[in-house]
Each structure stands twice: as structure tokens, then as C-alpha cells.
Amino acid sequence: MKSQANVYKWSTIDRVCNTAITFGGNIALARLLSPDDFGLLAMVAIFTAIAYNISSCGMSDGIIKKLHPTAEDYSTVFTFNALSGVIFCVLFIVTARPIANFFHQPALVGIMWAIGICFVFQVLWFIQETKLRKQLDMKKIAIVRVSASASAVGLGIALAICGYGYWGLVSCRIFLSVFLFVYYVMATRWIPRLGFYRNSFREMFGFGVNLMLAYIINQVSRNINTFVLGRFSPSESGIFSQAQKMEEVPYSMIDNIINSSFFAIISNESDRDKRRKLSTQMLGWMTTMTVTVGLLLTLLAGPGFHLLFGEKWDGAVPVFRILIFFGIGSAIKYYFQAVMKSYGLTRRILQLTVVEIIIQLGLLATLFRYGMIWIAWTQVAGVVLILAFYAREYCIIEQISFMKMAHIAVRDLLIPMIAFAITAAGYWMWDGVLNSFLSCLLTLSCFSAFAMLLWELHPNPMYLRYRNALLSRIRSDKRA
């Protein structure tokens, strides 16, 4: 069994390297292409997301939760995924022209065809990654994912430079699945045999179906806004998509590093008291980390977008600042979901997800006519309101009072909020006076310095743990 530290270490390496590659690729493509090009792919993102989650069906999480999955379990899930991939490939090809006609964008026909063909490969690597996650072999996962991302992004940038426009984006988003499949096969040298076992399917599907529906609803929630905007303005759809993508960078990384690994770890822990201790420690860590990152990004948004993407993307800044609240709420929500999944409460996750999307769609139907800003707030409102219900479920599961849970969640937030307030006062003085690079550098330096100073005066366990680890590494390097 891999140690928890090793699991989080390689999960962090995976997400940091992948984020750096995709972030750098996104900057290069944003400078080479236009918001309209990004808008084209954003219009059909909702269809890709739905197909992806139906194909996985949540059964991979069922295998991870099961203490001792069998060869029949792996074969059944693999066969189901492969069949789903073929079915959705045909559906994407058949529906390509009607979707293009709906948006009045003929270019979508070729994009949908590419999505369909590559989707066959996309679902085949699920089972490879699932087995490695069950074994907590995050090192091998990290190597595969980083290699695949570098290959896809490199191909995408090359196509954009050669004048192929939006096909550069298609490469980065869609052809990634082909590279993942090839590299996972090379890394594991294992492909489960085709086979379908009814008992295994019932067990995995029974656990996963509610997660599948919840994931689909989550993806509808994430992509309905660009879908609606794309009907009226490809440019606004692209701008909203860029803001959403930038919000996803830190919070997707947090979700994949922390929540994904945490679910695997807590599912392998059978002692109830140890599980409770792990989950309460993680709650305080999660809220402190997500809020601190959100506060810093709110300050960096203006000069950061201008520096990285250029003036043509400045319209994404206010949308990005609003979606930061969504990112904070979503990261905490996914943490609560990880705890609930470890106890098998998948039906309750589905129920709460349905409530969330009803709230969001109701607000969207009322406010979409007022533009991107109001549309962004509808996304935030849904997740903020539903967090109260998730918090209640968490208190019941872990058998703690709401006040104790709230105290654990917010006890370490005062210091980053003070650092934010001090830095914000300075930001309003130098914003517009300094160029974008210096403004970003000064904002980041001030926020970090004030936060670290306050944590030195009033340290918390998380800060001390990582500070001491860093100092220990520096001393070791000096001795070497």
C-alpha cells in the first residue's frame, strides 16, 4: 500500500505539470486564435461532457470503493465503456449537421465528427486509470497524463501556427484522448479482456448510476451558459468559456489533487474513527486553501488577463471574478461528495445535484437576457445555496454538530482575508500606474508576504507542516 504522502505527492506533480502545460498552451492559442474560435468548441462542450459521463457511468468509482475488485469487474466495466464509445461515436456523427444548423455554424460538422471518432479512444483508457488509482499508483498516472497533455498541446499549437485555426483547439481538447489511451497501454501493458458479467454489472452500475446522473447534471450546469451564449454570440461564448477555463485551472487542480486522492485513501480505510479524523482535518485544509487561492486570483485577474491573453480578452475579467466564488463553492462541494461516496450515499448526491441544477436553470431562464455577468451569477447561486444541504449531510455522516463543522471550516480564514484586505488597498493605488507585469508581481508579493507574516505570528498546523517540510528540504540540499 502506497503511503498517503506519496499519493498526494504524485497527485500534486500530476496536476501541477498538467496545469502548467495546458495553461501555457491555452495562452499560446488565445494569442494565435480569436474568441470566435474558442466559442465554436464551447458550443458543443455540453454534448461531449454528457457523453463522457454516461460512458463512464460512475462505475470506475464503484471499483475504487470496492475493497477487492475482481477481474470480472474490470472486464465488465471495460466492455461497457467500449460499447458506449462506439454508440456515442455514431451519435456525434449523425447529429453533427443538425447541431451545426442550430448554431448557424457549418464548421461544427467537422468538429463533431472529430469528437465522435476520438471518443472511442476516450472511453478505453478509463479502466487503465481506474486500476492504477485503486492501487494508489499515482506516479504512473502522473507520467502518462503529463506525456499525453504535452503531446496534445504541442500538436494543437503546431496546427494553430500553420493556420488551421480552431483545429488547434480541437487537437488539444479531443485528440488528448488518443494519446492517453496509447500511453496508458504502453505504461501498464494491460488491457482487460472483453467480457460482461451480470452480477458485476449490477454491483458497479448500482453504485455508479447515481454518480453518473449527478456528473451529467454537473456538466450541464457547467456548460449550459456557453451553450446559451453561443446561440446568440460566438464571441461572448468564447469569452465566457475562457473565463470559466481560467477559473477551472486552480480549482480543477485542487479537486484532482485533493478530492480524487482523498476518496481513494478514505475508501481504503475501514476504521470509522480514523476516517472521521481524516475527513475533519481535510475539511479545514480544503476551505483554507480554496478561499486563499480565490482571494489572490480576484486581485490578479485584471492585470493577469491583460498580460497573458492581450486586450481582446479583457471582457473575461469580470466574469472570471464572479466565477471564482463558484470555484470555491464547487471545490468544497466535491469534498463533501467524496466523503458521501466513501459511505455509499450516491443517491443522496444525485438528489442534491438535481436541486442545484433546478435552482440554476430557473435563475438562468429569468436572467440570461441581461448578459454574461448575470449568467455567471446564476452559476454561483446554485452552488452556494446547495452547500448548506451538503454541510448538513456531512454533519450527519461524521456525527458532529453544525457549529463544530462550521468552526473547523472557517477557523483559519481570518489571516488570508486580512492579507487580501491590505493588498487590495495597495492594488487600487498602483493599478493603472504600473504595467501589467509589475502589477501582478507586486500584488502576488504583497499578498504572500502579509499572509506568511501573519501565519508566522499565528501559525496553524497546515502552514507549519509545509513550512517545516520546505525548510527541512533546504537544509538537506545545503548539506548535500
Render pLDDT for 249-300 as a digit per residue (tens, 0 to 9): 888 777 777 777 777 777 777 777 888 888 888 888 888 889 999 999 999 9
Q: Highest-confidence range of 37-41, 72-76, 197-201, 320-324, by mean pLDDT?
A: 320-324
With a pLDDT cut of 70, the percent of the chain lying above it is 94
Q: What confidence score (pLDDT) does residue 320 get?
A: 92
Q: Which helix (H) or strand (E) holds 272?
A: helix 272-309
CA trace torsion 450, 451, 455, 457 (10° rounding): 20
Indicate if the pLDDT at residue 477 is higher than 70: no
The answer to whether 134 touches 265, Cβ cutoff 8 Å, is: no
Asked if 35 and 312 touch (Cβ cutoff 8 Å), the reply is yes
CB 19 within 8 A of CB 52: no
Query: Helix 272-309 and helix 402-410: axis angle, to 10°?
Result: 40
Query: Long-range CB contacts (< 8 A, 24+ apart) of 352-359?
Result: 352/386, 352/389, 352/390, 352/393, 353/213, 353/214, 353/217, 353/218, 354/217, 355/386, 355/389, 356/217, 356/221, 356/382, 356/383, 356/385, 356/386, 357/217, 357/220, 357/221, 357/382, 359/385, 359/386
* Cβ atoms 315, 349 nearer than 8 A: no
Per-residue model confidence as pLDDT tens digits over 406-415: 888 888 888 8
- pLDDT per residue as tens digits for the range 437-448: 899 999 999 999
**The pLDDT of residue 55:** 64
Query: How far is Cα of residue 70 from the mean position of the Cα atoms in its chain?
Result: 29
**Cβ within 8 Å of residue 200, ≥6 positions away:** 70, 72, 73, 75, 76, 77
Question: What is the Cα–Cα distance from 387 to 329, expressed in whole angstroms?
Answer: 7
Confidence of residue 325 (pLDDT cuts 50, 70, 90): very high
Q: Residue 189: is its pLDDT beyond 50?
A: yes
Position 226 pLDDT exceeds 90: no
Q: Using 50, 70 and 90 to split pLDDT, how confident is the model at 479?
A: low
Contact call for residues 145 and 14 (beta carbons, < 8 A): yes
What per-residue confidence (pLDDT) applies to 200?
A: 81
Residue 191 C-beta-side C-alpha neighbours within 13 Å = 15
d(CA 346, CA 65): 12
Dihedral sign, CA of 245, 22, 211, 263?
negative
Distance CA 476, CA 119 (A): 47
d(CA 333, CA 286): 10
**First-to-last CA distance in the chain?**
30
- pTM, rounded to two decimals: 0.68
Percent of the chain surpassing pLDDT 90: 13
| Residue labelled with grid coordinates 456538466 | 219
Of these ranges, 126-130, 143-147, 309-313, the one predicted with the greatest mean pLDDT is 143-147
Cα distance between residue 166 and residue 308, in whole Å: 19
The three three-digit cell numbers of residue 355, written as one number:
436541486
What would the grid cell of residue 340 be?
A: 458521501
pLDDT band of residue 422 (cuts 50, 70, 90) is very high
| pLDDT value at residue 291 | 93
Say if residues 43 and 193 touch (Cβ distance below 8 Å).
no
Higher pLDDT, 236 or 362: 362
Burial status of residue 140 (CB atoms within 10 A of its CB: 0-12, 13-18, 19 or more): middle
Residue 456 confidence class, pLDDT cut points 50, 70, 90: confident
Categorize the per-residue pLDDT at 329 as very low, low, confident or very high, splitting at 50, 70 and 90.
very high
pLDDT value at residue 203 = 77
**274-285 core/surface letters (b: 16 or more CB in 10 A; e: else):** ebbebbbebbbb
Rounded Cα distance between 188 and 332, Å, is: 33
Is the model's pLDDT at 416 over the cut of 70? yes
pLDDT at site 220: 76
User: Given its phi and psi angles, is residue 271 left (phi above 0), alpha (psi -120 to 50 degrees) or beta?
Assistant: beta
pLDDT above 50 for 57: yes
Evaluate whether 134 touches 63 at the Cβ level (below 8 Å): yes
Confidence label for 1 from pLDDT (cuts 50, 70 and 90): very low
Looking at every residue in the chain, the average pLDDT score rounds to 83
Average pLDDT over residues 109-123: 82
Q: Taking residues 464-475, report their average pLDDT.
A: 72
pLDDT at res. 420: 94
Category of 72 on φ-ψ map: left (φ > 0), alpha (ψ -120 to 50) or beta: alpha
Q: How far apart are CA 345 and CA 271, in angstroms?
A: 18
Q: Is 248 helix (H, G, I), strand (E, B) or coil?
A: helix
